[in-house]
Structure 1
Amino acid sequence: MVWKTVARHLFSRAAPASVPDEELAKTLRARLEAAGQKRLGRALAIRHVAAGSCNGCELELRATQNLIYDLTQYGLSFTPSPRHADILLITGVAGVNMREAVAQARAAMPDPVFVVAVGDCAVDGGVFKGSPAVAGGADAFLPVDLVIAGCAPTPIQIIQGLLALVEANGEPDSPIVIGDDPMRI
C-alpha cells in the first residue's frame, strides 16, 4: 500500500513552479524605499509576532527577503526588538494566550505604529474561527491598519500591502500611483 503511494508520487509530474515577476519586484522595492524614506526619513523596521500560526505566512514573509525580492537592502527589515519597529505585523489565529505578548510588543513600540494582519487566520481566525482558544483575529487585540488576506498571501501581495500602507499614510498631498492613474488622498 505504501509502495503504491510512493511509486505514484515518484512517477507523477509535478505542477510547474510559478515564476515570480522580477520587474514587478524591482518596481515595488524602489517604491517602498522611496515611501519609507519620505515618511520616516529612514528604512522601515517590522516587528513580527506569530500569534498561533501554522507557519505558512511566515514562509511567505521570509520569501520577501530572498534573492528575488531582497527587501532588506531596499528599506524593509525585520527587527527582533519592538523598540526599533515601525510596523507590528501579526500572523496566526490570534490565540487567547497570545493577547499579552501582542500587547507588550505594541506597548514597547514608539509612535507612529502601523498594525498589519497578514493571512486569513490573523484577519478573522480563519478556519479556526469560533474556537474558544481563538480571539477572532488580530483586531480582537488592537486596531488593525492593514489587512493582507490570503492563505498564505504571496510575497508580492505582502509587499504591495506594505507599500500601500506607507504611501497612504504619507504626506497628505503626495500622489499615490496604482497602475497608471495618480490619485490624491
Structure 2
Amino acid sequence: MASAMASIVALKGVYEELKSRMDKTAEDFRANLLSVRTGRASVHMLDNVKVDYYGTETAIAQVAQVTTPEANLIVVQPWEQSLVQAIEKAIRTSSQGFNPMHDGKIIRVPIPPMTEERRREGIKQLAGVLEDHKTSIRNIRRDGNETVKKAAKDKLISADDEKRANEEIQQLTDSQIKRVEDLFKAKEKEVMTL
C-alpha cells in the first residue's frame, strides 16, 4: 500500500512538472503575440528590436521609455541621449517596416495602416510561431510519457496507473494546445480587423 501511495505522489510530481513546462511554453507564445503588429500602436511592437548598448544587444524598453500617446504613434525616449541615433537605426532596420524620426531627444515612430498583404504575412509568420510552440508542448508530453513508461518498466507503478497517467498527460496536452490556438485565433481576428 505504501509503495502504491509513493507511486501516486511521484506521478503527481511528474504531472505538475509537465504542467509547469507547458504553462511556460504557452506564456512564451502569449508574449510573442504582444509584439505582433496590428493596426494600432502598442509599446510591445518594439519588444523584439534590440539596440547596441555598450556592446550588448539590449531591448529598447530597457534603455528607453516607450509610450503610445496616440493610436498610430509610438514615442521612444532614451534615458541616455547618446542612444537616440542607435535606437532610431535599430527600429528602421527591424523587419517591422517602420520609418522613425527623431529630434535629438525623442524618437517618434508613426504606425502606418497595415495593408491586407502585410496583415496576411503577419498571420502567416504567427502561424509558424504557433506550430513551433505546439511542437514544444508535444515534446513535453513525450518527456512525460517516457518518465511514466520508465516508472512502469521499473515496477514503480501498475499498468493501470501508467494508463491513467498517460491519459491525464494527453488531456493536459490537449488543453494547452487549445489554449495557444485560442490565443492565436484572437490575435488573428485582431490583426485582420480593419
Higher relative contact order (CA 8 A, sep 6+): 2
Larger gyration radius, structure 1 or structure 2: 2
Q: TM-score, normalised by structure 2?
A: 0.21
More helix by percentage: 2
TM-score when normalising by structure 1: 0.21
